Structure 1
Amino acid sequence: MFSLRSVRRFVWGEVPETKAERTLLLKLDWFILSYCCLMYFTNYLDRSNVSNAYVSGMKEDLHMYGTQLNKINTLFTCGYIVGMIPNNLMLQVVPPRIWFPTMQIVWGVLTFCSSAVKNVEQLYAIRFLQGLSEASTFVGTHYILGSWYKPGELGKRSGIFTSSGLIGSLFSGVLQAAVYQHLNGVDGRSGWRWLFIIDGVITLPIALYGFLVFPNTPITTNAFYLSEEERELAVSRLQPGKDAPKEHSGTGRPTWDLAKRVLSRWRWYGCSLLFAVSGETESFGSNNLMGQWLSATGGYTVEQVDYYPCGVTAVGIASTLVCATWTDATRTRARWPVLVYMSAAVIVAAVCIVVWGSPTGLKFFAYYLAGASYAGQATTFAWANQICADDDQERVVVLASMNMWNNVVNAWWQLVFYPATDAPRFRKGMWAMIGTGLATLLVTFLVWHLERRERRIAARVGTGGRAEDIIEEKERELDEKNVDGF
């Protein structure tokens, strides 16, 4: 029989022992998650609206053809790649309370500009610049979450944050359909142009909210709603050797020592490879393949082409929240089973679609099932936060690199395997998805093995600290005693 505490732990993660910590956690959840989720919501709303605008009149108005939609997405991805690590490192130089909202204002203004483009070349330039500014959001927020929350609290919060972006995608389809119905042609503007105007109007007030309430990091916060005791508790409750040890924690400019630490360990390589591969399982949703399929096969209205793919996102939201809740509630907080579930789902979905003679209902089921791929975002980044919890600066670089390498792959992946000209079948893409699912399983096992080996080494030397640091310290002690070898 479950106790009330067990239920609370399952629904909201690790339950604090003291009233003071519960009050602190409540404040953090309200002010950090409210802003980060709203910020990410507008981020994904803008990203998704390009694909929705494409099937709702933009293609015809801008005389787009061939793979120009893919090129728009690729240029956005290139800007995202270029801005990834610089944006995340800037969070250790400029207060996040300033940096996040400033970047949000930049992409909000650029969204307004998207409503006025006269040709696809102008949209190319705008999307590249938006990629630069939006690169601050995803990995930056995961860095902030890892700075404030314990591992037992982190998965659920990462899941809520990631789901807010998916809600943006879900809302995008609904919004585009509503705009097309009620604003298409108003004031001489097409519905898709009004969509970008509404995006900008939504974005700017949220940026102002961030300037007012975002708390920065535990050791730099001066948030008006936190008392001095709560600020001290925010730092002290993350115990050295467990969640956020003193070494290399805090803020500061990158150094050569940081580069040496990062490149000499398996973490940067393993975590980057994991998301570079597993992130491509989201290709069904991120390229709106279902919308392109419906549009290309014909027989569906513009509103239906906008509405029906929302089911993919809905499955993604449910999968993300359920999986994040489950991983926090387990004693070991193992993240790898979620990646197994996600990989199996996309493999089954791709097989159902690649057999083109399958019924239309089965294809609907397959596209919706593929929404499970979104569950990997929150889980993978919570796992990386957990792996790198003992080195704050390394964590910044690893989180940024994970998303960067995923986007490096994504920049050409969609052009090769999911070009708009392949609609409605996307045969190459379906086979690529099967291979991606299998590769994700292999890399997941590799990261799990390396993390487990690191913990075993640390346990053998009798401490919970990082094994590499323990060995280095032992070597220094032996050198001082002029003892050869180790």
Structure 2
Amino acid sequence: MSSPPSLEIHDGIAKERGQANVEQLEEKPETDPKSSPREIQGRFDLLRDLGDAEMERLGKRVLKKIDMRMMPAITMMFLMCYLDRINVSNARLAGMQEDLHMTDTIWNLGISAFYIGYLVGQLPGNLWLAKASPRWFLPCAMLGWSTCTICTPALTNGAGFAACRFFTGLAEAPFFPGITLMTSSWYTKQENPTRMAIWHAGNTISNIISGFLAAGILTTMSGVAGLHSWQWFFLIEGIASIVVALGALMLLPDYPHNTRFLTPAEREMAQYRVLCSNGGKEEGIGGTWDGVKEAVKDPFTWFFCLMHFALVTAQSFKDFFPSIVNTFDLGELTTYFIQAPPYAFAFAFACAVAWSSGRRQESFWHIVLPILGSAAGCAVLISTTNVGARYFGLFLLISGTYNGLNLQLSWETTLVPAPRSKKAALIAIANCISQVSHWFSPYFWPRAHEPFTVLAGGWSWSAACLS
């Protein structure tokens, strides 16, 4: 049966339009800067025919699911990661250094050994994660460092302390750049700064909790079951880390294209959201070493390496923060408790600045102005005997440095959104080089320089200015 004339005309027009569209696509240069959201939507079978209202509802549902599962998991994991990293500072106040017969030099060697292991595992760990399953990889890394923490109470000398801290750093190495990579693979450039500030809060919250744990454990559990209080400190933290790691195995997603707890349409929406944020550029995986080569050749990598190095160097105080507060001579229990407020303020400040940065899509001034405040706070800390002024200086010092590090991570993943192997290499290289400062920073904090530690304070001040 022949088609009615109207249908033939309609088919002819459609064919002409289709041919014209093909010709336009063929003539379109490969360097076309960005794809429109509608064009990106057309790449997905299950999204192609959805209207704007349906797309908005589906996008909100996906965002809510990821926020409810991923953000609590990685925030708690990061909290335990930093708690594990800084627990030796409070253990030192409880007599760990004396009990293991360590000089200041041996103690600082153990602190540096952690960052040697951290440096060794950084790049290979993050490149592996770019192709591996985050849901399995990250919790397994956490189980590794938790095992080291639980073994710490069995140490008997400085050599064992240095070896244990080395393997702790090696296990922790892929975690921080790994969750940075994972966050940037799920959230848009508008959402990224705030989400990174939220999980980066694990950093600040760990310092708050550490003070309270120290007050509760280090002042009451000495001699229980024949153990020193610092031994109980490590045991309890190690067990808590294992519990969090097992919970993360059930909560964490993989990447947007293969996460099981999302429906097929939600998986496509998760990919669509990130594609729109990237201007239509596919994240992809890319060859492992090709990603490294691309990152090395990109000048942004080296700008971020320098900035990251300066910010981490300015944070060198964090491994000695309890010792700094101890110079206020306010008593053991008070020393543990007053560690919390500066970090609580830093968390609220970082979230507010991150929200502003994401909303305005501006990073430079959001980093520079607070870091200048850190330099001022550091100057106050080492130039006066007034305890109130020095305590206020700690608020400024902590807030600016932690805020700057959080926003810098968001900034680098926004500028280099794809391929995933290049982004993973950039994050790892920048984080790797920044950790070199930990090899020598501890030696700027000998006890003989207390209470002002002018050398260390001047070092942090210089790094803040360099940032």
Does the 8 Å CA contact 1:312/1:370 hold for their aligned counterparts?
A: no
- Residue matched to 1:451: none
- Residue matched to 2:304: 271
1:280 and 2:307 aligned? no
Distance 1:70 1:301, change over 3 A: same
Distance 1:212 1:244, change over 3 A: farther
The alpha carbon displacement at 1:241 in A equals 7.9
- Aligned AA for 2:376? V
1:398 and 2:426 aligned? yes
- Aligned AA for 1:232? E
What is the CA–CA distance in structure 2 between the aligned matches of 1:173 and 1:203, rounded to whole Å?
17
Does the 8 Å CA contact 1:292/1:424 hold for their aligned counterparts?
A: no
Does the 8 Å CA contact 1:51/1:288 hold for their aligned counterparts?
A: yes
Query: Where do 1:310-329 residues align within 5 Å?
Result: 310-329=340-359
What is the CA–CA distance in structure 2 between the aligned matches of 1:130 and 1:252, rounded to whole Å?
30
Does the 8 Å CA contact 1:145/1:158 hold for their aligned counterparts?
A: yes
2:339 to 294, 309, 315: 309
1:374 and 2:413 aligned? no
Does the 8 Å CA contact 1:98/1:211 hold for their aligned counterparts?
A: yes
The alpha carbon displacement at 1:106 in A equals 0.9
Aligned residue for 2:235, secondary structure, equals: helix
What is the CA–CA distance in structure 1 between the aligned matches of 2:425 and 2:447, rounded to whole Å?
34
Measured against aligned partners, the alpha-carbon deviations of 1:215-240 in whole angstroms (never above 9, x if no partner) come to: 11112x232x2111101111122236
1:60 and 2:98 aligned? yes
The alpha carbon displacement at 1:39 in A equals 0.8
The alpha carbon displacement at 1:365 in A equals 1.2
- TM superposition score normalised by structure 1: 0.81
1:235 and 2:271 aligned? yes
The alpha carbon displacement at 1:35 in A equals 1.2
The alpha carbon displacement at 1:60 in A equals 2.5
Query: Where do 1:37-436 residues align within 5 Å?
Result: 37-219=75-257, 221-223=258-260, 225-239=261-275, 242=278, 245-246=281-282, 249-251=283-285, 253-255=287-289, 257-284=290-317, 286-289=318-321, 291-296=322-327, 299-330=329-360, 333-356=361-384, 358-372=385-399, 373-415=401-443, 417-436=444-463
For this pair of structures, how many residues does the alignment match? Answer: 414
Aligned residue for 2:104, secondary structure, equals: coil
Measured against aligned partners, the alpha-carbon deviations of 1:428-462 in whole angstroms (never above 9, x if no partner) come to: 1222222212211xxxxxxxxxxxxxxxxxxxxxx
What is the CA–CA distance in structure 2 between the aligned matches of 1:161 and 1:131, rounded to whole Å?
20
Does the 8 Å CA contact 2:190/2:358 hold for their aligned counterparts?
A: yes
- Aligned AA for 1:388? V
Aligned residues with identical type, % of pairs? 24
What is the CA–CA distance in structure 2 between the aligned matches of 1:206 and 1:433, rounded to whole Å?
33
- Aligned AA for 2:383? V
- Residue matched to 2:24: none
Stretches of structure 1 lacking an aligned partner (at least 5 in a row): 1-14, 441-486
Measured against aligned partners, the alpha-carbon deviations of 1:8-49 in whole angstroms (never above 9, x if no partner) come to: xxxxxxx99711110100011111112111111110111111
Does the 8 Å CA contact 1:70/1:420 hold for their aligned counterparts?
A: no
Does the 8 Å CA contact 2:114/2:167 hold for their aligned counterparts?
A: yes
Does the 8 Å CA contact 1:389/1:395 hold for their aligned counterparts?
A: yes
What is the CA–CA distance in structure 1 between the aligned matches of 2:299 and 2:61, rounded to whole Å?
38
Does the 8 Å CA contact 1:97/1:216 hold for their aligned counterparts?
A: yes
Q: Kindly name which structure, 1 or 2, has the bigger radius of gyration based on alpha carbons.
A: 2
What is the CA–CA distance in structure 2 between the aligned matches of 1:16 and 1:426, rounded to whole Å?
60
Measured against aligned partners, the alpha-carbon deviations of 1:360-415 in whole angstroms (never above 9, x if no partner) come to: 22111112221112111210100001110143221111111111111012221232
- Aligned AA for 1:40? F
Stretches of structure 2 lacking an aligned partner (at least 5 in a row): 1-52
The alpha carbon displacement at 1:334 in A equals 0.6
What is the CA–CA distance in structure 2 between the aligned matches of 1:79 and 1:259, rounded to whole Å?
20
- Aligned AA for 1:145? T
Measured against aligned partners, the alpha-carbon deviations of 1:144-203 in whole angstroms (never above 9, x if no partner) come to: 001011001101100001011211121011101101233222111111111111111111
Does the 8 Å CA contact 1:35/1:210 hold for their aligned counterparts?
A: yes
Deviates more, 1:158-167 or 1:88-97: 88-97
What is the CA–CA distance in structure 2 between the aligned matches of 1:117 and 1:260, rounded to whole Å?
42
- TM superposition score normalised by structure 2: 0.84
What is the CA–CA distance in structure 2 between the aligned matches of 1:212 and 1:304, rounded to whole Å?
39
What is the CA–CA distance in structure 1 between the aligned matches of 2:228 and 2:73, rounded to whole Å?
31
What is the CA–CA distance in structure 1 between the aligned matches of 2:154 and 2:236, rounded to whole Å?
13
The alpha carbon displacement at 1:254 in A equals 0.8
The alpha carbon displacement at 1:69 in A equals 3.0
Deviates more, 1:210-219 or 1:382-391: 210-219
The alpha carbon displacement at 1:81 in A equals 0.6
What is the CA–CA distance in structure 1 between the aligned matches of 2:453 and 2:226, rounded to whole Å?
36
Query: Where do 1:5-24 residues align within 5 Å?
Result: 18-24=56-62
Distance 1:209 1:93, change over 3 A: same
Does the 8 Å CA contact 2:110/2:162 hold for their aligned counterparts?
A: yes
What is the CA–CA distance in structure 2 between the aligned matches of 1:241 and 1:186, rounded to whole Å?
55
Does the 8 Å CA contact 2:292/2:426 hold for their aligned counterparts?
A: no
- Aligned AA for 1:77? Y
Deviates more, 1:90-99 or 1:104-113: 90-99
| CA RMSD, Structure 1 to Structure 2 (Å) | 2.0
